[in-house]
Amino acid sequence: MSAKDGGYFSRLVRKLTTDVDELDADDLSEKSEAEGARRACDCRTGEEVTVLGRLRSVQLCPTSEAATLQAELFDGTEGVTLVWLGRRRIPGIEAGRTIKVHGRMAVRDGRKVLYNPYYELQTTS
């Protein structure tokens, strides 16, 4: 057996013995890096960032004055809340969809937030 085969078998054993959610998080993190995006866990308040991940949830949060569309993006390392002010719906923004977003990182109630981020829907592969 060559060293190359050892790498294959160790990856196979890991895939067979690791939790599915952990494997999914690892895959998301690898895809994010391959696309040139930053890991959410490395993003700091005030920085202009690009993050790629999967939308875990999408919800309309109506307030007394204006509607707000809010989504939770997970990139395999940490969650980021995406907030579009004055929007009730954005075609393609739905739970389970992979998306790349760009904006200035903020923090609200101890959680990372991007307000009105530019977004790019990713094709499923």
Which tokens is 8 given?
């294959």
Domain range for 17 is 3-121
Which tokens is 62 given?
């109506």
For 77-112, how does the pLDDT look when each residue is reduced to its tens digit (9 = 90+)? 889 999 999 888 899 999 999 999 999 999 999 999
For 4-43, how does the pLDDT look when each residue is reduced to its tens digit (9 = 90+)? 556 766 665 655 555 555 656 666 666 766 677 898 989 9
Query: Is the Cβ–Cβ distance between 52 and 35 less than 8 Å?
Result: yes
CATH of the domain at 108: 2.40.50.140
Half-sphere exposure of 46 (CA within 13 A, CB side): 0
Does pLDDT of 55 surpass 90? yes
Q: What is the mean pLDDT of residues 42-63?
A: 90
Query: What domain count does the chain have?
Result: 1
DSSP letter string over 22-68?
HHHHHHHHHHHHHTTPPPGGG--TT-EEEEEEEEEEEEE---SS--E
